[in-house]
Amino acid sequence: MRKFLFPLLTLILLAATQLQATPPQDKPVDLTVSAAASLKDALDVITPIYAKTQPSVTLHFNLGASGTLQQQIEQGAPVDVYISASPDQMDALAKETLLLAGTRQDLLRNSIVLIVPAGSSHVSAFKDLLDPSVKFVAIGEPQSVPAGKYAQQTLTYMGLYDSLKPKFVLGKDVRQVLTYVATGNADAGMVYATDAKTTAQVKVVATAPEDSHSPVIYPVAVLNGSKSVDAAKAFVVFLESSQAQNIFQRFGFAPAK
């Protein structure tokens, strides 16, 4: 009996050692990221790259106007990470203690430009928007679209806002404003410089002076209600990495720091 006992014990010990040496498999994680619509193209490139580094994590993006995304979060939408195109929306969520402490970071910078359809020659400066030949000027809804708020600030700074109000076509997000101009449904519009780079159907004719509007900062944070805090934190860290920042810069964004 002893003769068989030792080999049996050896086998049991070997099996236990192999079990301890085998790393636990990562559990699949679904992350919901609510992000400003202007980030779409950069995030489309980042997603498959992140999938290679974190194959157990599946990213789901909810893209839209930062104000609309803020309201969804306030109403209980299950969001893990939020990236807004203005500090205002993030400040509002912070006041309601909806952000996970210590996770908020300034991620990117952008600028505001005046665009017209590619074949247009009526507008070459902001003051030209007053010309009677310009019938429609597209901007984002200032109350919910940060690009619209920046446009309002810029035009107010230049003394043009009140005069241009009858010409405004309001977009639900900055990409809709871009579409209005690209399709010729608006004679001009104000979008982020990064949006203007995404299509040859528009051209940039002027850039808003930096002192004409508040800084265009994109903050990022993990939400308090996240069910996958560690994975959410890891994604934010990746967004701040040189690899992700290089992708953002390819699309015209600048580092926030």
Q: What is the pLDDT of residues 26-53, one digit of tens each?
A: 689 999 999 999 999 999 999 999 999 9
CATH number at residue 193: 3.40.190.10
pLDDT tens for residues 173-200? 999 999 999 999 999 999 999 999 999 9
Mean pLDDT confidence for 98-104: 97
Mean pLDDT over each residue of the chain, to the nearest integer: 91
With 90 as the cut, is the pLDDT of residue 81 above it?
A: yes
Q: 200 and 228 share a domain?
A: no
Q: Give the count of domains, the chain.
A: 2
Structural domain contains residue 126: yes
Pairwise CA distance, residues 85 & 69, whole Å = 11
**Whether residue 236 sits in one domain with residue 206:** no
Question: What residues are paired with 191 via a beta bridge?
Answer: 113
Residues 168 and 244 in one domain: no
Scanning the structure block, which residue is given the tokens 């509007």?
213
181 in the same domain as 240: no
Domain region containing 153: 112-212
Whether 24 is covered by a domain: the verdict is no
* 225 and 203 together in one domain: no
In residues, how long is the chain? 257
Q: What is the pLDDT of residue 122?
A: 86
**75 falls within a domain:** yes
Say if residue 40 is in the same domain as residue 124.
Answer: no
Say yes or no: 74 and 134 in one domain.
no
pLDDT digits (tens, 9 = 90+) for 200-235: 999 999 999 999 999 999 999 999 999 999 999 999
Same domain membership, residue 81 and residue 52: yes
**Co-location of 136 and 93 in the same domain:** no
Residue 119 sits in the same domain as residue 194: yes
Asked if residue 154 and residue 101 are part of one domain, the reply reads: no
For residue 3, being part of any structural domain is answered with no
Calculate the CA dihedral of residues 88, 248, 42, 242 and round it to 10 degrees: -110
Is residue 15 domain-resident? Answer: no
Residues 141 and 202 in one domain: yes
How far is 2 from 234, CA to CA, in rounded Å?
53
Give SS3 for 106: strand
Whether 11 is in a domain gets the answer no
**For residues 24, 25, 27 and 28, what is the CA-based torsion angle, rounded to 10 degrees?**
170
- Candidates 217, 256, 221; CA nearest to 235 is 221
In a domain, 204, yes or no: yes
Residue 97 in any domain: the answer is: yes
